[in-house]
């Protein structure tokens, strides 16, 4: 168990790091962040923050010297950055990042453990794309294999005709069949250093423009029926990666069962409701796991829960939400610029308390 007063290093400077840091502070730890130049809102909650490029060896060794354990809040931290740190500092093997950073690798990995992704193919050349269209057909989605998020780096392909108008972006892509689903849902688990696993309830996730808009509990009968199979896959993924901390897998609930979409080796937007809505939040349990503390319970505390993201300029008026009935819980991430489509905060509303 990492003693109180120890220092947790977080790679990445976004809102997930900020909320992780708040949980770490509550447990008596100090936090040092590391990220390149940017709107690093995690820095507000850190006692130190190193702003440097991911490959700045000097800055990384200063960071390592200041930390007792290191975790990440962002799945695109370069693997080489993590490998440059002394391995005893790492809370979790870097393989989780390697797998999650490449959509092709990630789907292959999930399939090798019994998961069912949508039909997919690697596309680097026009010939690959043509072959993928023949095998998988349309409609489908072309996605950059790396670095896409919140629907960015994705192109819907409704027909052959539309496909012929697409110019490949010049980086490796994955083409996948379009899934007809009832709902999207996520499985969020925490795995301790001893291999024990706890799951939070799965929310139904509603997306707008490829980005999560709302997460709801109860998730409904369709999702609930598919959660056991989805959890089985998530636990296998976590065990295979020798994962420590919070891990998220996203699924489409289809008539044929859960279709694996992607994984995030970190806390997740669809788990923000756990701050008020569960016995222990995803952020606190992540910190507990990486510090070797006993994991907290994950039970849902209310009859219903809705988490809604606050996006773009809506944040400028967000404090008015506090006057609305139903005691909404408001979280703002302190971002300096309310750009369109940018996650600025979230609101959680809960129903009546469960016994
Ligand atoms: P992703 O970045 O892969 O999570 O995609 C963002 C969102 O786009 C997903 O949450 C879905 O709403 C939608 N989407 C992505 N892939 C597919 C697919 N193969 N079929 C249907 N919808 C998809």
Question: Could you give the count of Cα atoms lying within 13 Å of 218 in the half-sphere of its Cβ?
Answer: 9
**What are the strands, taking DSSP E only, across 200-291?**
204-208, 211-217, 245-254, 257-264
pLDDT of residue 26: 98
Residues whose CB is less than 8 angstroms from the CB of residue 324 and which lie 6 or more positions away in sequence, other chains included: none
**Stretch 261-284: mean pLDDT, rounded?**
98
Residue 267 vs residues 147, 246, 322, 323, 338: alpha-carbon distances, Å = 17, 5, 26, 29, 23
Determine the Cα–Cα distance for residues 311 and 80; give it in Å rounded to an integer: 32
Determine the Cα–Cα distance for residues 260 and 240; give it in Å rounded to an integer: 17
pLDDT of residue 71: 98
Burial level of 349, CB count in 10 A (0-12/13-18/19+)?
buried
Residue 205, helix vs strand vs coil: strand
pLDDT of residue 291: 98
pLDDT of residue 160: 87
* DSSP assignment string, 131-150: HHHHHH-SSEEEEESSS--T
The predicted model scores a pTM of 0.97
Domains parsed from the chain with CATH numbers: 7-90 (3.40.50.20), 119-177 (3.30.1490.20), 183-350 (3.30.470.20)
Residue 151 has pLDDT above 90, yes or no: no
Whether ligand 1 lies within 6 angstroms of the CB of 199 is answered as no
pLDDT digits (tens, 9 = 90+) for 55-112: 999 999 999 999 999 999 999 999 999 999 999 999 999 999 999 999 999 999 999 9
Residue 150 has pLDDT above 90, yes or no: no
Partner residues linked to 33 by β-bridges = 10, 49
Residues whose CB is less than 8 angstroms from the CB of residue 160 and which lie 6 or more positions away in sequence, other chains included: 133, 138
Res. 302 pLDDT band, cuts 50 70 90: very high
Q: For ligand 1, atom 13, name the residue with the nearest CA.
A: 210
Mean of all residue pLDDT scores within the chain:
96
pLDDT of residue 108: 98
Residue 178 vs residues 118, 122, 195: alpha-carbon distances, Å = 7, 15, 35
**Stretch 9-37: mean pLDDT, rounded?**
98
Q: For ligand 1, atom 14, name the residue with the nearest CA.
A: 210
Whether ligand 1 lies within 6 angstroms of the CB of 151 is answered as yes
Residue 67 and residue 32 in contact, taking contact as beta carbons nearer than 8 Å: yes
Determine the Cα–Cα distance for residues 139 and 327; give it in Å rounded to an integer: 43
pLDDT of residue 51: 98
pLDDT of residue 105: 96
Res. 161 pLDDT band, cuts 50 70 90: confident
Q: How far is CA 96 from the centre of its chain?
A: 12
Whether ligand 1 lies within 6 angstroms of the CB of 106 is answered as no
Determine the Cα–Cα distance for residues 185 and 38; give it in Å rounded to an integer: 31
Determine the Cα–Cα distance for residues 128 and 151; give it in Å rounded to an integer: 22
Determine the Cα–Cα distance for residues 11 and 83; give it in Å rounded to an integer: 12
Determine the Cα–Cα distance for residues 192 and 288; give it in Å rounded to an integer: 8
Residue 251 has pLDDT above 80, yes or no: yes
Residues across the chain: 355
Residue 226 has pLDDT above 90, yes or no: yes
Centre of ligand 1 from the C-alpha of residue 293, in Å: 35
Determine the Cα–Cα distance for residues 196 and 68; give it in Å rounded to an integer: 23
Q: Where do the H-state alpha helices sit in 256-337?
A: 274-277, 282-290
Tell me the percentage of the chain whose pLDDT exceeds 70. 100
DSSP 8-class letter at 19 = H
pLDDT of residue 223: 98
Residue 154 and residue 141 in contact, taking contact as beta carbons nearer than 8 Å: yes
Q: Given the DSSP bridges, would you call strands 183-191 and 197-199 parallel, antiparallel or unpaired?
A: antiparallel
Residue 259: name the closest of 41, 110, 85, 152 by CA: 110
Tell me the percentage of the chain whose pLDDT exceeds 90. 94
Residue 166 has pLDDT above 80, yes or no: yes
Pocket test for ligand 1, best of 121, 148, 151, 256 (most atoms within 8 A of CB): 151
Centre of ligand 1 from the C-alpha of residue 108, in Å: 17
Whether ligand 1 lies within 6 angstroms of the CB of 174 is answered as no
End-to-end CA gap in the chain? 32
Task: Return the C-alpha torsion angle 21, 44, 342, 300, nearest 10.
Answer: 30
Determine the Cα–Cα distance for residues 33 and 21; give it in Å rounded to an integer: 9
Whether ligand 1 lies within 6 angstroms of the CB of 179 is answered as yes
Pocket test for ligand 1, best of 153, 210, 248, 253 (most atoms within 8 A of CB): 210
């Amino acid at each position: 168990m990492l003693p109180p007063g120890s220092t947790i290093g977080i790679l990445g400077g976004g809102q997930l790091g900020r909320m992780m840091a708040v949980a770490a502070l509550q447990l008596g730890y100090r936090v040092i962040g590391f990220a390149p130049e940017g709107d690093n809102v995690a820095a507000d909650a850190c006692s130190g923050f190193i702003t440097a490029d991911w490959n700045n060896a000097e800055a990384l060794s200063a960071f390592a010297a200041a930390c007792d354990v290191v975790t990440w809040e962002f799945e695109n931290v370069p693997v080489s950055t993590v490998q440059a740190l002394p391995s005893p500092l790492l809370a979790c093997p870097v393989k989780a990042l390697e797998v999650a950073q490449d959509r092709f690798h990630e789907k292959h990995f999930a399939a090798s453990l019994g998961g069912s992704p949508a039909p997919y193919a690697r596309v680097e050349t026009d010939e690959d794309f043509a072959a993928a269209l023949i095998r998988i057909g349309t409609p489908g989605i072309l996605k950059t294999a790396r670095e896409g998020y919140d629907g960015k780096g994705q192109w819907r392909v409704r027909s052959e005709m539309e496909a012929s108008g697409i110019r490949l972006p010049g980086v490796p892509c994955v083409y996948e069949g379009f899934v007809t689903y009832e709902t999207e849902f996520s499985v969020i688990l925490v795995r301790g250093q001893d291999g024990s696993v706890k799951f939070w309830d799965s929310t139904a996730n509603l997306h707008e423009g490829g980005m999560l808009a709302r997460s709801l509990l109860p998730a409904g009968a369709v999702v609930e029926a598919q959660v056991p199979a989805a959890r089985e896959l998530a636990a296998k993924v976590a065990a295979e990666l020798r994962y420590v901390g919070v891990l998220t897998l996203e699924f489409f609930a289809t008539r044929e069962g859960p279709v694996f979409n992607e994984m995030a080796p970190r806390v997740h937007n669809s788990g923000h409701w756990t701050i008020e809505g569960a016995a222990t939040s995803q952020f606190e349990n992540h910190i507990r796991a990486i510090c070797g503390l006993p994991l907290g319970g994950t039970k849902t505390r209310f009859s219903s829960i809705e988490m809604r993201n606050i996006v773009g300029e809506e944040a400028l008026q967000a404090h008015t939400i506090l006057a609305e009935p139903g005691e909404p819980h408001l979280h703002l991430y302190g971002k300096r610029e309310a750009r369109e489509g940018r996650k600025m905060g979230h609101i959680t509303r809960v129903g009546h308390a469960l016994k």
